[in-house]
Amino acid sequence: MTTTDQGPLYFRDRDWHPAAYTPGYKTSMTRAPFRPLVSLGSTLSEETGPAFGQAMIGELDNNLIMNFTGQPAIGERIILHGRVLDENGRGVPGVLVEIWQANAGGRYRHKKDGYLAPLDPNFGGCGRTLTDASGGYEFLTVRPGAYPWPNRVNDWRPMHIHLSVFGSGFGQRLITQNYFEGDPLIARCPIVQTIGQQKAIDVLVAPLDMNRAIPMDCLAYKFDIVLRGRRQSYFENRKEGL
């Protein structure tokens, strides 16, 4: 336990995150609360959260190319890597990062996905890892394909990987998606555009990282993730014994 594991959470900037009600993304219209959120500072219920141990992570858990059948998946081989940081710029060690994605043709291994692109018999589509001492994580996977979805008649999701991240507090819980540098579908996607500010969209786009690519093996993309920070609690009006 370190001092950064405790203390009140910084308030979320909800103008930076996507709004709940975003009509361009049609499903949000009946799933967005209409009443205002009830806002107050974090409590122990948000400042504490689950912890996960290395013992639970299998050797191939962060290798989506091999973790389904042990035979390699088909597609553009990439490393997706980065650091999990807090808003104070500190690496967050030992936290669980989970990802899921479509295969190289844009098909998900999910009973609700009926897209005509075929499943890859050697690709499952999920991975997980714990961040290292400096907050770093990495996955080996194939770059997912774009795929169509029933929103407007001809909407296509950009290539993306879903990421789910834990911090040290339940109130830091975050799910997001990363996109890939140069993809012309990013600017056309209603889910990307649920985010109102271009600066906020830009931080979801992972740049190509040739320094981390492995010659004759795979390319690499870098994607850093920032979680809510914590205040130092020296001046908090807490009673003794808390």
Partner 1 sequence: MMQRLDYLKETPSQTAGPYVHIGLVPNALGIPGIYPEDLGRAPVTDAAKGQRISITGRVIDGAGMVLRDALFETWQADAAGIYPVNDPRGPADPGVTGWARVAADFDTGIWRIDTVKPGRVPYPDGRLMAPHIAVWLVARGVNLGLQTRIYFDDEADANAACPVLGRIEHRERVATLLARHQGNGQYQIDFRLQGEGETVFFDM
Enumerate the active-site residues: 108, 147, 157, 160, 162
Q: Which is nearer to partner 1, 28 or 219 (CB)?
A: 28
Query: Phi/psi class of residue 106: alpha, beta or left (left: φ > 0; alpha: ψ in -120 to 50)?
Result: left
Nearer to partner 1, 101 or 220 (CB): 101
d(CA 135, CA 94): 7
Handedness of CA 203, 208, 214, 104 (dihedral sign): positive
* C-alpha distance across the termini of the chain, in Å: 16
Which C-beta is closer to partner 1: that of 49 or that of 93? Answer: 49
Q: CB–CB of 46/177 below 8 Å?
A: no
Contact between 230 and 4 under an 8 Å Cβ cutoff? The reply is yes
Residue number with CB closer to partner 1 (31 or 216): 31
From the CB of residue 169, how many other CB atoms can be counted at a distance below 10 Å?
23
Strand partners, 128: 98
CB of 168: closest distance to partner 1 in angstroms? 6
